[in-house]
Amino acid sequence: MSQTPSDSAPRLRLRILFGTDAMLGPGKADLLEHIRETGSIAAAGRAMSMSYKRAWSLVEEMNSTFRGPLVDSSRGGARGGGAHLTELGEEVLANYRALEEIIAEAGADRIETLQGMLRETTTPAAADIPEGK
């Protein structure tokens, strides 16, 4: 799984649009990683606080978008089911993560400049917050 920056650190979220109907973004990439780690669409969905129905829907969408399936799954039963990334799924995920790194490195100076332009914010002390808020 990719490293998560602290909440205060700026971060890029890459979304690639392929025409008007197909898209690959951070949620789908994270879902693919969780499927690879857990071997299960249901477990991957749970890890992302996502319903099985939503996780399955995203997998079906990705499988129909690319030239072949990204996830191969088998139904449960006496021996249990499971899911794994196909070779194409591994390639798509690796290319997406590599592109994220390239963009983050290339844009680091601009991100730092933009961050310097942000309004200074401070978290008020508990005593400064009116009651009932």
Contact in structure between 80 and 72 (CB atoms under 8 Å): no
Kindly tell me if the per-residue pLDDT of 122 is higher than 90: no
pTM score? 0.79
Mean pLDDT along residues 98-123: 90
Encode pLDDT of 34-50 as tens digits. Answer: 999 999 999 999 999 99
What is the percent of the chain where pLDDT is above 70?
82
Asked whether the predicted pLDDT for residue 17 surpasses 80, the reply is yes
Q: Judge contact between 84 and 72, C-beta under 8 A.
A: yes
Per-residue model confidence (pLDDT) at position 85: 97
33 confidence band (pLDDT: 50, 70, 90)? very high
Show Cβ contacts of residue 23 under 8 Å, excluding neighbours closer than 6 positions.
15, 16, 17
pLDDT score of 10: 85
pLDDT above 80 for 77: no
Delineate the domains of the chain, giving CATH numbers in brackets.
16-117 (1.10.10.10)
Q: Give me the pLDDT at residue 46, please.
A: 97
User: Is 44 in contact with 31 (CB distance < 8 Å)?
Assistant: yes
